[in-house]
């Protein structure tokens, strides 16, 4: 073995055996130092080659991108930002088949996710022709793309960099909104995650107890709409009934609601019509609230594409009633 390979192997072995170093590299150095630097380089390279005659192509490759909706929404919001800034934009989902490895998607699940991507894009951008599914990546002579195959992870930073360093402004109607139904009683939304992947981020009994206590204390007169997959509503509602009965007397009403419509695209309007959004851990549903004006409290477990180390939004838009906080995990 040559010296270079030997040094690499010894270094990797050392890192794996020292949790503090592993934590710093994965939870601090990579997301909060390396990723912002990469985003700056991407924007600088893009700006030199771009002119208003070119169409910007944003890609989401199924071979290397997670089959998740929050990640895809970040890319769609970058497209929204560019379109509202007067640029021509296309989103191309490069479909090379179901993602394998840790995801190991079935064909049926893969095709469902692709259809939901289109629904999300149409809901946010309002134009069915903006997003297409293609078998391979290719650019015409009048098209330009950022030099990254994972632009979803850079999207919030890119918007912030364009705003802060290149003089772009955030379009007035960039943030998501929805007209509230005056006949609908006010409600708050609470995301209870029950994902197939990253199960350590799924909602557990502790999350349910603390979340229910928080929402009942701060929103006693509001219904609580549970945002969760349809198949998981029965078990969560049963658990919340038990929690409610243990905390309150018989005169107190359990005021929780299931989603009237399921699917991520439908969830967008449900959250935008709510008075407040709450989630502890959870997943990509928080991205909807992040790109809106509704008040929220998002408590995250891990690093996040959308917020910096200090919990500030990369795009720089957040009012005082929108709070993001990251759980501190410094016990080794």
Residue 170, in any domain of the structure: no
Mean pLDDT is highest, among 35-39, 97-101, 222-226, for 222-226
Instruction: Tell which of 165, 196, 225 closes a domain.
Output: 165
Model confidence band, residue 303 (pLDDT cutoffs 50, 70, 90): low
Residue 332, in any domain of the structure: no
Q: Mark whether 71 and 207 lie in a shared domain.
A: no
Q: Mark whether 95 and 192 lie in a shared domain.
A: no
Q: Mark whether 161 and 191 lie in a shared domain.
A: no
CA distance 150 to 161: 17
Residue 297 belongs to a domain with what CATH number? 3.40.50.2000
Residue 176, in any domain of the structure: no
Residue 173, in any domain of the structure: no
Residue 3, in any domain of the structure: no
From the CB of residue 119, how many other CB atoms can be counted at a distance below 10 Å? Answer: 17
By residue range, what is the domain housing residue 313?
A: 187-326
Model confidence band, residue 168 (pLDDT cutoffs 50, 70, 90): very high
Residue 140, in any domain of the structure: yes
Tokens of 168: 């772009």
Q: Mark whether 157 and 255 lie in a shared domain.
A: no
In the chain, the number of structural domains is 2
Q: CB–CB of 257/223 below 8 Å?
A: yes
Instruction: Tell which of 165, 198, 217 closes a domain.
Output: 165
CA distance 174 to 77: 8
Model confidence band, residue 48 (pLDDT cutoffs 50, 70, 90): very high
Full-model pTM: 0.89
Give the pLDDT confidence score for residue 102 in this predicted structure.
Answer: 82
Please say if the pLDDT value at position 330 is more than 80.
no
Q: CB–CB of 177/273 below 8 Å?
A: no
Q: Mark whether 191 and 319 lie in a shared domain.
A: yes
Mean pLDDT score, 77-87: 97
pLDDT 10s digits, 120-137: 999 999 988 999 999 999
Residue 179, in any domain of the structure: no
Residue 257, in any domain of the structure: yes
Model confidence band, residue 151 (pLDDT cutoffs 50, 70, 90): very high
pLDDT 10s digits, 318-327: 678 898 887 7
Please say if the pLDDT value at position 275 is more than 90.
yes
Please say if the pLDDT value at position 302 is more than 60.
yes
């Amino acid at each position: 073995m040559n010296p270079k390979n030997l040094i690499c192997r010894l270094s990797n072995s050392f890192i794996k055996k020292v949790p503090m170093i592993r934590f710093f590299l994965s939870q601090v150095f990579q997301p909060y130092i390396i990723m912002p630097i990469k985003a700056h380089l991407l924007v600088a390279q893009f700006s030199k080659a771009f002119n208003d005659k070119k169409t910007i192509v944003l890609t989401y490759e199924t071979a290397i991108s997670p089959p998740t909706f929050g990640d895809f929404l970040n890319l769609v919001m970058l497209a929204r930002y560019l379109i509202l800034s007067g640029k021509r934009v296309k989103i191309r989902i490069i479909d090379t088949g179901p993602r394998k490895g840790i995801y190991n998607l079935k064909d049926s699940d893969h095709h469902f996710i692709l259809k939901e991507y289109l629904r999300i894009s149409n809901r946010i951008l309002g134009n069915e022709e903006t997003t297409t599914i293609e078998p391979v990546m290719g650019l015409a002579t009048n098209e330009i793309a950022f030099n990254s195959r994972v632009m979803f992870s850079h999207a919030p930073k890119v918007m912030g960099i364009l705003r802060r360093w290149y003089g772009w402004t955030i379009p007035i109607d960039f943030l998501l909104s929805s007209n509230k139904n005056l006949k609908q009683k006010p409600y708050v939304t609470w995301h209870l995650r029950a994902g197939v992947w990253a199960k350590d981020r799924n909602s557990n009994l502790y999350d349910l107890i603390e979340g229910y206590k928080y929402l009942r204390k701060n929103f006693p007169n509001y219904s609580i709409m549970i945002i969760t997959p349809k198949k998981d509503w029965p078990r969560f509602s049963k658990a919340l009934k038990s929690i409610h009965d243990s905390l309150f007397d018989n005169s107190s009403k359990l005021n929780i609601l299931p989603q009237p419509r399921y699917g991520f695209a439908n969830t967008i309007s449900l959250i935008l019509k709510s008075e407040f959004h709450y989630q502890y851990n959870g997943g990509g549903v928080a991205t909807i609230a992040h790109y809106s004006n509704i008040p929220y409290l998002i408590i995250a477990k891990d690093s996040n594409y959308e917020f910096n180390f200090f919990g500030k939004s990369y795009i720089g838009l957040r009012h005082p009633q929108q709070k993001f906080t990251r759980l501190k995990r410094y016990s080794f």
